[in-house]
Amino acid sequence: MLKAALQNLGCSKNLVDGDRIIYSLKTAGFEITEDFSEAEIIVVNTCSFIREAQEEAIESILDCASYKNGGKCATLIVSGCFSERYRKEVADKFPEVDLWVGVNDWEHIFKEKFSTKVKKPFERKLDEPIASQYLKIAEGCSHGCTFCVIPSIRGKFVSRPDTDIIEEAQWLYENGTKELILVAQDSSFYGRDTNSTLQKLLEKLLAKTQFPWIRVMYLHPKYVDKSLLSLFANESRLCSYFDIPLQHISDPVLKAMNRPTTGKDIHSLLDNIRSIVPDAAIRSAFILGFPGETEKDFMELQRFVEHARFDKLGVFPYSAEEGTKAFGMRPRPKASTATRRCEELMLIQRDISRELMEAKVGKTIDVIIDRVAEDPDFNYEARSRHDAPEVDGKVLITEGNADIGTIIPVQIIGCGDYDLYGKVIRKP
């Protein structure tokens, strides 16, 4: 049996695509291997959102190309966002690549090349931990943020039919998923192109599935309204976790970014979340060093972060991407200035996070057991309802035994800046 390997890069949405690529290869009769030197076919599923992702894609392509001489690889395929964005420009620079596959045509090309016969559009190989799985509810983006290349790569926002989403969700549950994580470029925009809404989708998922936890990632501040918040407040199976990239708080910067919300709108949104969903955890992200951002704008953002006290926060230096409206904007703060601002903001957030973590010590919370801990000082790595995989902190279990994939109560006995330490509560 021929063997195939996948190098998967990028976000959780790419992870879902990678799962489907592996399933397609298995359906075509390939054995999936993690040993690239043994693979006759290697697929590199790429990201291209910012410069660092492009550099990682190129490095991975070159690494995998080495197996055409030093391994068994006969076919090297590059798929995903980097391929969609640059394949015409770079194909001649990578003669080792046999096939360039875009984000919307890989399924057709795989079917044509490998005679795959996928029975259902959502069937895929599920990676560990099985208990937590992403479900992509839409493709593309119709927003016009001046810093973002996604619409030019993946096209306008297109919602998946809710019947397909529910069928896939039921399939995931039947295969052991406990935590369903909905993802899209903007999950809160779901259904606005098909006369529906995210709220309606969530109501159907709650009615037709039995997941203990349903988490939603990537919400746009413009579309998180009081009705949606009330649903989260009243449904315990919806994780009270709000992942809302705000990008900035200064009105001049928000306007330059072509964001439809003002600083006042953002303050009102946070007030609404915390008044309607008292146990909410809010995660956000900001871009520092955007063209035109002044020290005054940055100081306003510092004050805002101190006031907002986000549970989770990510900050990123602005990446000037060709093909975006912001690419030619000036003046552009120096890269060193953007880096300094990121570091200063995260120092503020670190202290806030530590205080929020310390407030949880002594409490009992439910966690999902992700895996056996690599660090011998801990038994397991787990997460609370307020922690998403990969991007947030962990609950590290120091005492007690548990089954992987279960949701159990633990007592919090200590903390770090971003992680909690807990012990399994013994049954009487």
Query: The CATH number of the domain where 83 resides is what?
Result: 3.40.50.12160
In a domain, 239, yes or no: yes
- 171 & 320 share domain: yes
Residue 428 banded pLDDT, cuts 50, 70, 90: very low
Q: Of 83, 114, 145, which marks where a domain is finished?
A: 114
- 326 & 391 share domain: no
Residue 140 region, left (φ>0) first, then alpha (ψ -120 to 50), else beta? Answer: left
In a domain, 395, yes or no: yes
Looking at residue 122, its pLDDT comes to: 66
- Residue 330 pLDDT > 80: yes
- 276 & 379 share domain: no
Q: HSE of 384 in the Cβ direction (CA atoms, 13 Å)?
A: 27
From CA 112, how far away is CA 416, in angstroms rounded?
Answer: 52
- 306 & 384 share domain: no
Q: Which of 32-41, 42-51, 326-335 has the lowest mean pLDDT?
A: 42-51
Q: Which of 30-39, 65-74, 191-200 has the lowest mean pLDDT?
A: 65-74
Q: What is the CATH number of the domain that holds 245?
A: 3.80.30.20
The DSSP code sequence of 296-352 is HHHHHHHHHHHHH--SEEEEEE----TTSGGGG-S----HHHHHHHHHHHHHHHHHH
Angle (CA) 323 324 330, round 5°: 115
In a domain, 121, yes or no: no
- 86 & 167 share domain: no
Residue 115 banded pLDDT, cuts 50, 70, 90: low
- 103 & 187 share domain: no
Tally DSSP H helices, then E strands, for the chain. 13, 18
The CA–CA distances, whole Å, from 18 to 62, 126, 157, 162, 427 equal 19, 10, 20, 22, 40
Residue 294 banded pLDDT, cuts 50, 70, 90: very high
In a domain, 119, yes or no: no
- 370 & 352 share domain: no
- 189 & 257 share domain: yes
Measured in degrees and rounded to the nearest 5, phi and psi for residue 140 equal 75, -175
Looking at residue 121, its pLDDT comes to: 59
Mean predicted lDDT score pLDDT of the chain: 93
What pLDDT, in 10s, does the model give residues 2-38? Answer: 999 999 998 888 888 888 888 888 888 899 999 999 9
- In this prediction, residues 198-214 reach a mean pLDDT of 98
- Rounded to the nearest 10 degrees, the angle between the axes of helix 295-308 and helix 335-358 is 10
Q: Of 84, 114, 144, which marks where a domain is finished?
A: 114
- Boundaries of domain holding 36: 3-114
The structure's pTM equals 0.90
Looking at residue 153, its pLDDT comes to: 87
In a domain, 181, yes or no: yes
From CA 280, how far away is CA 276, in angstroms rounded?
Answer: 9
- 375 & 251 share domain: no
Q: Of 316, 334, 358, which marks where a domain is finished?
A: 358
What pLDDT, in 10s, does the model give residues 145-180? Answer: 999 999 988 899 999 999 999 999 999 999 999 999
Secondary element (H or E) of residue 77: strand 75-80
Q: What is the CATH number of the domain that holds 404?
A: 2.40.50.140
Domain count, the chain: 3
- 314 & 388 share domain: no
- In this prediction, residues 386-398 reach a mean pLDDT of 96
In a domain, 125, yes or no: no
In a domain, 233, yes or no: yes
- In this prediction, residues 75-83 reach a mean pLDDT of 91
Looking at residue 21, its pLDDT comes to: 86
What pLDDT, in 10s, does the model give residues 309-318? Answer: 999 999 999 9
- 163 & 76 share domain: no
In a domain, 126, yes or no: no
- 228 & 182 share domain: yes
- Residue 388 pLDDT > 70: yes
- Residue 273 pLDDT > 90: yes
- In this prediction, residues 328-333 reach a mean pLDDT of 96
